Amino acid sequence: MSRRDFTLADAGREFVRHPSPWMIGVTLAAAATARTIVGDWQVTDAVVPLVMVGVFPLAEWVIHVAILHWRPRRLGPVVVDTRLARDHRRHHAEPRDVPLIFIPWPTLLWLLPVATAVALVAFPRPGLGLTFLTLLTALGLGYEWCHYLIHSDYKPRSDVYRAIWRNHRRHHFKNEHYWFTVTSAGTADRVLGTCPDPATVPTSPTARQLHVTPAR
């Protein structure tokens, strides 16, 4: 199949072959089911999702900058690094390597239980915590789909998706120091000063080799 013929259906078939969408999706289904059973719907169950959707682009930016672009640091004999950062460096080196597009499943093995524990402990009502967990996993699944789609052979059909697609691909192929949002077209980037006019930004020689000092 040529890249030009790659459809959304083709993308969907590839997407479900990977573990992270299933892990997040099962958690989402369980959280939504539990939320329905618990009931006790209140106004805050509408407020929490609105806040989460509003904050998500900023959270996405912070995670991308502070965690995924973490620069390994040496503390005495120990090098402080993380699997997420290592895999993200590999993702920049090979943007078309499909498994590297997704959140590593070993990370989800502890991240999803932690998110569930936060939902059940940190909120004043079990129902509100389950509302939080349902939307968190829905946002996570949306992130995985959007990120995969951008790196797939599927070409933008709408203006909205084209803007999102262009924004993230600039980060990978123009300059890794800008355009950190993935599921929106530069929302947090515009607020935080990392969405410059592309014409004014030089093409980085290290966009595919994070933290490597270019030769002089």
In a domain? residue 78:
yes
**What is the 3-state composition of the chain as percent helix, strand, coil, each rounded to the nearest 5?**
65, 5, 35
In a domain? residue 197:
no
- Over 60: is that where the pLDDT of 73 sits? yes
In a domain? residue 162:
no
- Over 90: is that where the pLDDT of 145 sits? yes
Assessment of whether the complete model's pTM goes beyond 0.85 = yes
- Over 80: is that where the pLDDT of 2 sits? no
Q: Please, are residues 11 and 152 in contact by the beta-carbon 8 Å criterion?
A: yes
Domain that holds residue 91: 8-156
Average pLDDT over the chain reads 94
Tokens 């590297």 sit on residue: 100
Q: Is 28 exposed, middle or buried (0-12, 13-18, 19+ CB in 10 A)?
A: buried
Structure tokens at 27: 């958690």
What pLDDT score was predicted for residue 60? 96
In a domain? residue 215:
no
Average pLDDT on 145-166 reads 94
Quote the CA–CA distance of 130 and 31 in Å, as a whole number: 6
In a domain? residue 77:
yes
Indicate the number of domains in the chain.
1
What pLDDT score was predicted for residue 5? 84
Average pLDDT on 169-178 reads 96
In a domain? residue 187:
no
